[in-house]
Amino acid sequence: MVKAYEPRDRDIENEVIGDVSQVVRQVSNPFWLIREVLRYGGDCIVISPDSIRDKIKEKLRSLCEQYDLPVQNDETD
């Protein structure tokens, strides 16, 4: 997956650490970032900011509920 990432003009940093590509990107609209991240499933993780990370978690919880999958509502995650 690391080699498959195509850098974008919005990328501020794109550093490969072992088998992880760490990308820092300027985001003007979180909606599009969330859509992009979700398409990669478990192969992509938003580390920060917490506001975007929380929006992704809420989207995933909503999808789980929509498909009758158990959801753990642990506020420490």
Q: Does 74 fall in a domain?
A: no
Q: Which two tokens stand for residue 51?
A: 């506001």
Number of structural domains (the chain) is 1
Q: Does 2 fall in a domain?
A: no
Q: Does 5 fall in a domain?
A: no
| pLDDT at position 30 | 92
pLDDT tens digits along 39-74: 888 888 999 999 999 999 999 999 999 999 998 776
Rounded to 5°, the CA angle 40-46-51 comes to 130
Q: Does 1 fall in a domain?
A: no
Q: Which two tokens stand for residue 26?
A: 């300027």
| SS3 of residue 55 by DSSP | helix
Extract the runs of DSSP E, i.e. beta strands, from the chain. Answer: 11-17, 20-25
Q: What is the mean pLDDT of residues 20-42?
A: 89
Show the domain range for 37: 11-66
Q: Does 28 fall in a domain?
A: yes
Quickly state the pLDDT bin for 2 (edges 50, 70, 90). low
